[in-house]
Structure 1
């Protein structure tokens, strides 16, 4: 399993929305794009996909923008990955050719790896990512006397 650019940008956009969740105000595409260094047009398409997937909602008007549909601690990385990449990326590859014992062993190990990856993605939420980012940022602070 590989993290696509599409999934990474989606996670970064949702991370930005999660950072502003408590304020209750929507963020505009240009704000998210500038903060996370994501191209505006690409972000617009990603947010449309995330909206159709039920992870974000949009608000029209001069004070419009996007915000999360659920609390950051209720949105897992698995939810985001499934919304962006689809379930077919998470399913095991089934081929029509007859399976040898070599094929079966490889597929069994690959299935185990896929299940482990899915388990980790289900374990982490947007809130967890915010907390990890904040603790990393705090470690980067240098104090000079």
Structure 2
């Protein structure tokens, strides 16, 4: 299991949007890209996918941009990854009679690992990531003083 570059960039963009959620103003692609060091063109594609998945919404006009579709504490990392990766991250209940005992054991452990990973991802929201980031920034500031 590895976090793809696509997912990492999207989560970083969503954290940026969650940080500015309270002011209610949409964020433009170039703002988000500059803050998180994400290529504009790539971010544009990611945001389109997130919009189609219902994670964010867009607003047109001179003051247009992108906003979270709901509160940051209601958007789980699991939802984001499911939207981006198009994965059916649910574990299959099918067992094949053709598989060897060794293969069945490996599949069983892999399913257990996937369930554990899904549980963790379902427990963390964008708000949680923002709070962890802020706490880490505070530690960095205190360390250098």
TM range (shorter): over 0.9
CA-CA distance at 1:2 after TM superposition: 1.2
Residue number in structure 1 paired with 2:79: 79
State the number of aligned residues: 143
CA-CA distance at 1:100 after TM superposition: 0.7
Query: Is 1:12 paired with 2:12?
Result: yes
Query: Is 1:123 paired with 2:123?
Result: yes
Separation in structure 1 between the aligned mates of residue 114 and residue 58 of structure 2, nearest angstrom: 33
Separation in structure 1 between the aligned mates of residue 6 and residue 14 of structure 2, nearest angstrom: 12
**Alpha-carbon displacement from aligned partner over 1:15-71 (angstroms, at most 9, x marks no partner):** 000000000000000000000000000000000000000010001111000000000
Separation in structure 2 between the aligned mates of residue 91 and residue 106 of structure 1, nearest angstrom: 17
SS in 1 for 2:57: strand
- TM-score w.r.t. the length of structure 2 is 0.93
Query: Is 1:25 paired with 2:58?
Result: no
Gaps of 5+ in 2: none
Gaps of 5+ in 1: none
SS in 2 for 1:67: strand
Residue number in structure 2 paired with 1:50: 50
Separation in structure 2 between the aligned mates of residue 42 and residue 114 of structure 1, nearest angstrom: 28
Runs of 4+ in 1 over 2 A off after TM superposition: 91-97
Residue number in structure 2 paired with 1:102: 102
